């Protein structure tokens, strides 16, 4: 009897072992050592098949990239296979670990440093025609150790979107668009009521960070070497937002049953929201009858500031078609092609040469373009993701006072310092 029980225990433990590891470890199979040289194939750039992995915002973006790929392929005699990723970070990581990454892939600014550290990115930024024409702060986002690894694909900035119907209903005019924090508070309070919240904004550092910058604060120093989260400027920003939240003039999307700011604005639950260029496409698709206007974010005590989000066209270090990849990216980042992307899925060209053309064609989006001059990129060192998620999870507590701005910032300081020292 004893031995039967022993066997059963072992069997139960075996089941446990199998299930646990199945839950935790995805693919970690042995990979063949790569024999491909980093230099690429040199001049021969025809008859090559390029694998492109993109983190697409939707069908419009996927189709636009596929069309661009086909056009380039027909011109050069190559082939392009575009794969839209369900979860770009995870799929890219898996293919890199397996030793056969796609030749070209989107690289988010916040993931860039990790990829450079992991030796995954080829240094091709300067091989693109006129690569220094890109906005300087975007170039900086993809420069590490003095090397300009990859060229920015496009970018978005944050601005204030206002529901104009609710605006006029509240007795406000064009002259009332908020220029300062005080004005923002006044109009937000005025717009709140009857099931409408003045300002609805996602509870993430990717929005609140703009207020920190407007107050003159930041999470890390300009050189990225010191954490500066625990500053009086940042505290001022959080105190201001907490005041708005306690007055009921600021709410977070979940509190009004929305997934993000655009949904709250479209459903008429928010009179104002803070989002980037991506809101334009989804508003015209999902809420075509809602009238709204895009204005620059109000200035804080330290002046104007906004946040920018960008991706670059990364080329895999292990790609054996680097020359073809560079040629394709060259094609993708011409002014014409960037303008056609702008038309298809509402992003802003990363080339300064396309600025005038963009403002002319999309006068409604002028506020996003003006933001480019005082935009700051996201914090990007490896390991910051978890720190930010922890911070983000406390933001909603500002409203009912369960989160205290001071302790939020001191734990952000502690956790970010810890993560930075692990690099």
Q: Which residues bind other proteins (CB under 8 A)?
A: 1, 5, 8-9, 12-13, 15-21, 23-26, 28-31, 33-34, 87, 89-90, 93-94, 96-97, 99, 114-115, 117-120, 254-257, 382-383, 385-387, 389-390, 393, 396, 414-415, 418-419
CB of 220 to other proteins, least distance (A): 16
Instruction: Indicate the residue among 18 and 222 with the shorter CB distance to other proteins.
Output: 18
Across 163-200, b (16+ Cβ under 10 Å) vs e yields beebbeebebeeeebbeebeebbbbbbbbbeeebbbbb
Read off the tokens for 294. 């895009």
CB of 205 to other proteins, least distance (A): 14
Q: What is the dihedral of CA 274, 276, 277, 281, to 10 degrees?
A: -60
CB of 350 to other proteins, least distance (A): 25
- CA-closest candidate to residue 65, choices 360, 285, 347, 318: 347
Instruction: Indicate the residue among 3 and 28 with the shorter CB distance to other proteins.
Output: 28
197: enclosing H helix or E strand:
strand 197-200
Between CA 262 and CA 277 the distance in angstroms is 11
Instruction: Indicate the residue among 24 and 175 with the shorter CB distance to other proteins.
Output: 24
CB of 145 to other proteins, least distance (A): 16
CB of 19 to other proteins, least distance (A): 6
Instruction: Indicate the residue among 79 and 254 with the shorter CB distance to other proteins.
Output: 254
Contacts with 60 (C-beta within 8 Å, 6 or more apart), sequence order: 281, 344, 345
DSSP at 296: P
Contact assessment for residue 312 and residue 151, using Cβ atoms and an 8 Å cutoff = yes
- CA-closest candidate to residue 358, choices 329, 274, 370, 138: 370
Instruction: Indicate the residue among 91 and 340 with the shorter CB distance to other proteins.
Output: 91
Please, where are the H alpha helices in 333-404? 335-345, 355-361, 366-371, 384-395, 397-400
CB of 156 to other proteins, least distance (A): 21
**Which pairs from 181-184 meet CB under 8 Å and 24+ separation?**
181/214, 181/240, 181/298, 181/299, 181/300, 181/301, 183/298, 184/298
Instruction: Indicate the residue among 9 and 44 with the shorter CB distance to other proteins.
Output: 9
Instruction: Indicate the residue among 296 and 380 with the shorter CB distance to other proteins.
Output: 380
Instruction: Indicate the residue among 298 and 314 with the shorter CB distance to other proteins.
Output: 314
Contact assessment for residue 369 and residue 355, using Cβ atoms and an 8 Å cutoff = yes
CB of 202 to other proteins, least distance (A): 12
CB of 245 to other proteins, least distance (A): 14
CB of 78 to other proteins, least distance (A): 27
Instruction: Indicate the residue among 304 and 411 with the shorter CB distance to other proteins.
Output: 411
Radius of gyration of the chain, Cα coordinates, nearest whole angstrom = 24
CB of 21 to other proteins, least distance (A): 5
Instruction: Indicate the residue among 87 and 336 with the shorter CB distance to other proteins.
Output: 87
72: enclosing H helix or E strand:
helix 59-76
Contacts with 331 (C-beta within 8 Å, 6 or more apart), sequence order: 68, 71, 72, 75, 337
């Amino acid at each position: 009897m004893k031995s039967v029980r022993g066997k059963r225990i072992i069997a139960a433990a075996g089941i446990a072992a199998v299930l646990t590891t199945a839950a935790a470890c995805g693919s970690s199979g042995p990979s063949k050592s790569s024999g491909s040289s980093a230099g690429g194939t040199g001049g021969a750039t025809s008859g090559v098949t390029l694998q492109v992995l993109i983190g697409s915002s939707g069908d419009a973006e996927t189709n636009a990239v596929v069309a661009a790929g086909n056009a380039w392929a027909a011109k050069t005699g190559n082939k392009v296979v575009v794969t839209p990723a369900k979860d770009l970070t995870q799929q890219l990581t898996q293919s890199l670990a397996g030793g056969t990454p796609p030749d070209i892939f989107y690289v988010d600014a916040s993931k860039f440093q990790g990829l450079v550290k992991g030796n995954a990115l080829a240094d091709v930024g300067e091989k693109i025609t006129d690569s220094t024409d890109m906005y300087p702060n975007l170039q900086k986002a993809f420069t590490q150790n003095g090397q300009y690894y990859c060229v920015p694909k496009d970018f978005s900035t944050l601005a204030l979107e206002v529901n104009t119907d609710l605006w006029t209903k509240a007795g406000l005019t064009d002259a009332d668009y908020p220029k300062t924090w005080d004005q923002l508070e006044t109009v937000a309070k005025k717009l709140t009521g009857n099931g409408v919240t003045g300002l609805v904004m996602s509870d993430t550092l990717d929005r609140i960070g703009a207020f920190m910058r407007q107050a003159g604060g930041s999470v890390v120093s300009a050189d990225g070497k010191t954490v500066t989260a625990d500053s009086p400027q940042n505290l001022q920003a959080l105190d201001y937002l907490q005041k708005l939240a306690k007055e009921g003039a600021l709410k977070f999307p979940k509190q009004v049953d929305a997934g993000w700011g655009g949904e709250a604005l479209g459903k008429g639950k928010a009179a104002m929201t803070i989002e980037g260029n991506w809101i334009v496409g989804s508003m015209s698709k999902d809420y075509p009858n809602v009238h709204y206007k895009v204005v620059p974010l109000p200035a804080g005590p330290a002046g104007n500031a906004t946040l920018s989000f960008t991706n670059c066209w990364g080329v895999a270090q292990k790609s054996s078609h680097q020359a073809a990849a560079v040629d394709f990216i060259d094609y993708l980042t011409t002014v014409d092609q960037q303008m056609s992307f702008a038309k298809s899925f509402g992003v802003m060209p990363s080339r300064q040469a396309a600025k005038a053309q963009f403002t002319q064609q999309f006068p409604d989006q002028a506020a996003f373009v003006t933001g480019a001059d005082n935009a700051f990129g996201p914090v990007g060192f490896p390991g910051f993701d978890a720190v930010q998620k922890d911070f983000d999870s406390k933001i909603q507590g500002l409203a009912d006072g369960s989160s205290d701005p001071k302790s939020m910032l001191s734990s952000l300081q502690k956790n970010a310092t810890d993560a930075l020292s692990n690099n």
